[in-house]
Amino acid sequence: MKTVAILATLDTKAAEADFMRKEIERLGGRAYIIDLSVVGDSEIPADVSKEEVIVAGGSTLAELLDNPSREKANPSIVAGATKILLDLQLAGKIQAVVTLGGTQGTSTCAPILQALPYGFPKVMLSTAASGDVGPFVGIKDITMMFAVSDILGLNVFSRKILANAAASAWGMAQVEQCITKSEAKGVIGMSNLGVLTKGAMHAIELFEKAGYEVITFHAIGAGGDAMEQMMKEGIITAVFDYAMGEIADGCFDALRASGPDRLTVAGKLGLPQVICPGGSEHLGLLVSEPSKIPDGWENHQITWHTPYVFVPRLNAQEQAKVANTIGDRLQSSTEKTAFIMPLKGVSSYSAKGGELYNTDLDAAYWDALQNALPNHVEVEALDLAAEDSAFVDHAVNKLISMIED
C-alpha cells in the first residue's frame, strides 16, 4: 500500500485535508497528515501534530505563541516539517507528498518540497499557481496545480480539484521507475542552448554509443543549477558543460542568469568535466516592448531570439568580464577539468553566417579566456565552431577518456 503525505495548516484547511485523505484511501492508498499550523486547533487528528513539527524545528509551541507571527513561526515550521518529511522518505514510509494552500501556505511548503530528492513525487495545490511559480518550484520537479478558487470550504468545485490533486500524488506514488538505477556505464550531465542543439544532439548520440546516458539541461538559469544539484545528489557522474550562457547573463543580470555556484560544483566534487563556453558571447535580454532595442545596447552587434528576447553580442570588455568569471568559478576544479575553445564561433549566432559573426571579437574572447583560466585546467583550442561535428567528437572523446582513465 502506497502512502501519501498531506501537508496542510489544519487550523484552516482541516476539512480539505480530510477530504483528500478519504480520496487517497478510496483509491487504495494511505494518507499521512502533517499539521503545519501554529495558533488555531484542528478539527481532525494529524499523524504528526503541530507540536511535533515545531519541536523538530528546534522550538516549542509555547515559544511561538508568545507574541505569535508568521515571520517568527515559519522558520521552525519549515525546518521541522523538512526534517520529518526527509526522515519518512528515507525510511520508505511515504511514496509521495501533496500540499494545499494559498500564498502563505505555498510559501511555507515550497522549501520543504524543494528539500526532497529528484524523482520523489511532489504535488502542490495552490491558489498562486497561475502566476510566476519559479520561486515555489526552484530547481526541483514539483508539480503545481492551480486551485482556481480559494482553498476554503468544500463545494461542488473544490471537491473535484482536491480529488484531482490527491489522485495525482497517489498515481505518481505507483511509479516504480527509479532515477538512481541506471544500467549505463555512467550518467553525463550536459548543458545546452538552442544555438547549440545540433551539436548537443550529436553529443548524445556519441555518448549513448559509448554506453552512457545523458541528461540534458536547458541552460537558461534554473537548468544549470538543476544540473549541479543532481551532481550533489549523485545522479550525475561526469559533465559536458557545453553551454555557458548562464555565466554571461549572470554577469549582466540578464534573462538566463544562474546562481552564484554555477560552474563550481563538479570541481568541488572531483567529477570529470569538459567545458565549452557555448553561447557565452551574447546575452538574452527580456524587453517589454517587442523589437525595441533597450537603452545602452544600441552600439552592439545584435539579433532577436524572439520579439521579446533581445540578443546583443558582447564587446571585448564585456567578454573579458565573462572570461574572468569563468576563471574564478574554476579555481576550485581538479585535474579532471578540460576547457575546449571553438575558435570559429561559440554558438550558431557567432559561427560563420550567423547574425553575430565577428572574428575580431572571437579572438578577443579567446585572449581573455587564456588570461583568466587557472593553470591547473587543461586548455585546448580547436579551429572549429562549437556545433561542428569534429568539435563535438573531440569534446566527447575527451570526457570519456577522463572518465575511463
What is the arithmetic mean of pLDDT over 201-205?
A: 98
pLDDT tens-digit readout, 289-300: 999 999 999 999
383 located within any domain: yes
DSSP 24-60: HHHTT-EEEEEE--SSSPPSS--SB-HHHHHHHTT--
Identify whether 23 is part of a domain: yes
Q: What percent of the chain has pLDDT over 70?
A: 100
Q: Let me know whether 47 and 151 are in one domain.
A: yes
Same structural domain, 148 and 7: yes
Question: Within this chain, do residues 277 and 377 fall inside the same structural domain, yes or no?
Answer: yes
Looking at 147, 173, 199, the residue that finishes a domain is 173
Query: Do residues 274 and 378 share a domain?
Result: yes
> Are 222 and 107 in the same domain?
no
What is the pLDDT at residue 179? 81
Do 244 and 297 lie in one domain? The reply is: yes
- Residue 230 has a pLDDT of 95
In a domain, 58, yes or no: yes
> Domain of 29: which CATH number?
3.40.50.12020
Last residue of a domain, one of 144, 173, 202: 173
Task: Provide the domain limits for residue 337.
Answer: 187-404
Domain-located, residue 194: yes
The sign of the dihedral angle between the CA atoms of 266, 270, 271, 275 is: positive
What's the CATH code of the domain at 363? Answer: 3.40.50.12030
pLDDT beyond 80 at 181: no
Q: Let me know whether 124 and 230 are in one domain.
A: no
Q: Does residue 322 sit within a domain?
A: yes
Give the cell for residue 293. 532595442
Do residues 312 and 240 share a domain?
A: yes
Whether residue 157 is found in the same domain as residue 275: no
Q: According to the model, what pLDDT value does residue 204 have?
A: 98
Split into its structural domains, the chain has a count of 2
- φ and ψ at 188, to 5 degrees? -95, 130
Q: Which residue reads 495525482 in cell numbers?
A: 168
- The residues, ordered by sequence, that sit 6+ positions from 13 with a Cβ below 8 Å of its Cβ are 100, 101, 105, 151
Q: Is residue 24 part of a domain?
A: yes
Does a structural domain hold residue 182?
no
pLDDT 10s digits, 152-172? 999 999 999 999 999 999 999
What is the tens place of the pLDDT at every residue in 103-133? 999 999 999 999 999 999 999 999 999 988 9
Q: Is residue 179, in this structure, part of any structural domain at all?
A: no
Does residue 225 share a domain with residue 355?
A: yes
Place of cell 571553438: 342
User: With 0-12 CB in 10 A as exposed, 13-18 as middle and 19+ as buried, what is 343?
Assistant: middle
Same domain? For 131 and 193 the reply is no
Residues 139 and 225 sit within 8 Å (Cβ to Cβ): yes
The model carries a pTM of: 0.89
Are the CB atoms for 34 and 85 separated by under 8 Å? yes
Of residues 84, 36, 38, the one with CA closest to residue 63: 38
Asked whether residue 197 falls in the same domain as residue 327, the answer is yes
Q: What is the pLDDT of residue 335?
A: 78
Question: Which of 146, 173, 200 is the last residue in one of the domains?
Answer: 173
Q: What pLDDT shows up at residue 36?
A: 96
pLDDT in tens, 211-265: 999 999 999 999 999 999 999 999 999 999 999 999 999 999 999 999 999 999 9
